[in-house]
Amino acid sequence: MTLSGKGYFIWQIPNCEKGVVNTIANLAQQSGFTHILIKVADGTYSYNVDSNGNDLVPPLVSALKARDIAVWGWHYIYGNYPAKEANKAIERINNLGLAGYALDVEGEFKQEGKDEAASLFMSKLRKALPNLPVALCSYRYPSYHTKVPWKIFLEQCDFNMPQVYWEQSHNPGAQLTRSVSEFQAMTPYRPIIPVGSAYIRGTWAPTTADITEFLQTAQSLGLSAANFWEWSNTRKNLSDVWNTIRDYDWSNPPVANMAAALIEAWNSHSPNQVTNLYASNGVHVNSARTVQGTTAIYSWYQSLFSMLPQATFTLTSSHGSNSSQHFTWRATSSSGSVDDGSDTLGILNGKIVYHFTYFSVN
């Protein structure tokens, strides 16, 4: 099952619309959500079970399904008792009739010995449920969290749901673009369905412009869906953010982000992949010269990738239309860095026909 459109994470059902399942389901439907992810387990225990032992999840699952909303479960796993955690996952999935399952993997899996735990958990889960859509939900930048057993999880997952939380910043587009780029460079690559920030942290909160930028970037990068964390926090504290997510029309894609596509191609370090984005008579301009045609542009990128070997390019801002876009960028490499990249693109029929670039290497 491929997810598409907008979705939301639910943590504690009683904190969402006072736990009234029909209110939750109606709001989800009115907001155009195609899927909801409910916390159904924590470690070896069932979650969203009240103090009297009543399981709060089944009524909500039924109410959402009645409105044609796909219901996934999510499970925070620790790796201390991986066999028991897998048994709990299998039990909850089967008993609740879930359409998919997301594994929340965080700091515990940076500890020694957790590779084996990850392998045991995934093997047991997949043996019991080989066809269930499963997603890894973890950090946005794998380069910051190298001890997480990414490969072990992703080899047996169908999707990757990175937590692209842009706390203390307001550049979700750049952060999402970087997250996708880092995962694309890993093996195996799994389709990305990012999770965005829709909560308050201290004095920081996402703006409505942030939310729109995050969703537009997800679509411009060709991602099939996007989710937000977390229902109760948004509803209680960020009504304008909720309304922005509700009103965003996923069926009406935004302007194609050629800047993001170009940055992604730069990160491939392949002149062929980059020049494929240009029209055959495309023009490339900088302060020193103007060249025309893909052969000359190919040579330019050979020089760039030699000047900045194995560089990591990051999109820092972009705006424009389907015919003209301006973007800023930076790069880091073993032979220098760029902090002031500033480019303008002219686009015709989905190809770059004009490209002015300015940058200096430090």
Going along the chain from its start, the domains and CATH numbers come out as: 5-247 (3.20.20.80), 258-358 (3.10.450.50)
Q: How far apart are CA 207 and CA 197, in angstroms?
A: 10
Residue 27 amino acid letter? L
The pLDDT assigned to 294 comes to 92
Q: What is the mean pLDDT of residues 278-285?
A: 93
Q: How far apart are CA 59 and CA 82, in angstroms?
A: 28
Q: How far apart are CA 333 and CA 314, in angstroms?
A: 12
The pLDDT assigned to 320 comes to 82
The pLDDT assigned to 253 comes to 64
The pLDDT assigned to 254 comes to 60
Q: What is the mean pLDDT of residues 283-301?
A: 94
Name the token pair of 42. 């924590």
Evaluate if residue 256 carries a pLDDT over 80.
Answer: no
Q: How far apart are CA 327 and CA 347, in angstroms?
A: 13
In this prediction, residue 1 has a pLDDT band, given cuts at 50, 70 and 90, of: low
Average predicted confidence (pLDDT) for the chain? 94
111: which strand partners? none
- How large a percentage of the chain has pLDDT more than 70? 99
In this prediction, residue 185 has a pLDDT band, given cuts at 50, 70 and 90, of: confident
The pLDDT assigned to 41 comes to 98
In this prediction, residue 324 has a pLDDT band, given cuts at 50, 70 and 90, of: confident
Is the model more confident about 177 or about 134?
A: 134
Evaluate if residue 340 carries a pLDDT over 70.
Answer: yes
The dihedrals phi and psi of 356, each to the nearest 5 degrees, come to: -105, 130
The pLDDT assigned to 181 comes to 86
Q: How far apart are CA 23 and CA 232, in angstroms?
A: 13
Q: How many CA atoms lie within 13 A of 199 on its CB side?
A: 21
Evaluate if residue 164 carries a pLDDT over 70.
Answer: yes
Distances (CA, A) of 359 to 287, 303, 309, 341, 356: 10, 14, 16, 4, 10
Q: How far apart are CA 277 and CA 109, in angstroms?
A: 39
- How large a percentage of the chain has pLDDT more than 90? 85
